[in-house]
Amino acid sequence: MVGIVVVSHSSELAEGLAALAAQMAGPEVRIEPAGGLPNGELGTDEDRVRAAIRAADQGAGVVVLGDLGSAILTVRHVLERHNGNGSVRLVDAPIVEGAVAAAVTASANMSLDDVARSAEEARGAGKL
Amino acid sequence: MAQASSEAVLVTLPADVDLHARPAADFVRTAMGFSADVQVAAGERQVDAKSLLSVLALGAKGGTELRLTAAGEDAAAALDALSARVLSLTD
């Protein structure tokens, strides 16, 4: 099953979003938060992102979402060094809608391509 | 190759279950189990039954009649499974 990593400047935001996505996707999907700096401040940390990717990976690939600017740069930096044959995919998506859509798609045992696409489709999905 | 078939059914959401959050996820997950193209309509709006965010945006309340349509080889099976899923949804 594809895993999901949510990277935010805020640990509370990352953890809350992981909980929300897990509530909709059920217990089988690994949804890992990577938020904040080790000293508790706002920011993104490469070691936390790396650990979250490892924890989310069950062998079917991992989709990573970031909140803003430097979160994306942090993920890119991590993936430049290690991206197990392209099986870790950073997607361009609004983080809340994208993570929830990706988690539910993953829970239906869909492929990495399908999960990544469902997250990116969130860019064009209206709420009203 | 089997002839692709197209099917439609009407099914009513349980009175106490809105098609939001977990029920919407359960619905979409069921639709994803089939290769058929599946659409769900409530009132005037019709969306892809495999798109969680689109299904959430339908905003279908408990007691709403849903029109399910499917096209593809396993369309009939998809509609059977989805109708049953709708009737068994809980909040």
Delimit the domains of chain A by residue range.
3-124
Environment class of residue A51 by beta-carbon count within 10 Å: exposed (0-12), middle (13-18) or buried (19+)? middle
Interface test with A, best of B22, B29, B48 (most A CBs within 10 A): B29
User: Which position has the higher pLDDT, B66 or B4?
Assistant: B66
Our answer to whether residue A9 is catalytic in this structure is: yes
Model confidence at A22, in pLDDT bands (50, 70, 90)?
very high
* Closest Cβ–Cβ partner in A101, A127, A128 for B52: A101
Fold of the domain spanning A3-124? Rossmann fold (3.40.50)
Cα separation of A17 and A20, whole Å? 5
- The confidence score (pLDDT) of residue B6 equals 76
The SS3 assignment for B10 reads strand
> Pairing state of beta strands B5-12 and B65-72?
antiparallel
CB contact under 8 A, A118 and B57: no
CATH number, domain B5-88, options 3.30.1340.10, 3.90.1150.150, 1.20.1530.20, 3.40.50.720? 3.30.1340.10
Indicate if ipTM > 0.85.
yes
Check if the beta carbon of residue A78 is closer than 8 Å to that of residue A49. yes
- The confidence score (pLDDT) of residue B5 equals 66
**In the sheet where B45-48 sits, what is the strand order?**
B5-12, B65-72, B37-42, B45-48
